[in-house]
């Protein structure tokens, strides 16, 4: 997929962006995104402690970088 995008972007970056948007809107891509979201949801439900712990850590890191730096 990346190789195909690189080929589309070779003539001009705009054509590359157009190809990327077209791919993102394709039914196959949407199906893949839905599948990924489903897998992530199942992983959260299977490992709640890990999911919430990593979310808290991510929030702390984000807060640290936004508020303290």
The mark string for 35-54 relative to another protein (x by CB under 8 A, - otherwise) is: ------x--xx--x--xxx-
Handedness of CA 48, 50, 52, 55 (dihedral sign): negative
What is the distance between the terminal CA atoms of the chain, rounded to a whole angstrom? 38
Q: Which stretch binds another protein (CB under 8 A): 5-13, 16-24, 25-33, 59-67?
A: 59-67
Residue 10 or 34: which CB sits closer to another protein?
34
Other beta carbons less than 10 A from residue 20's beta carbon = 15
Least gap, CB of 42 to another protein (angstroms): 9
């Amino acid at each position: 997929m990346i190789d195909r995008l690189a080929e589309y972007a070779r003539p001009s970056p705009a054509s590359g962006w157009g190809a990327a948007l077209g791919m993102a809107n394709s039914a196959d891509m949407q199906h893949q995104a839905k599948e990924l979201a489903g897998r992530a949801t199942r992983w959260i439900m299977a490992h709640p402690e890990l999911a919430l712990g990593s979310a808290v850590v991510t929030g702390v890191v984000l807060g640290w970088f936004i508020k303290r730096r």
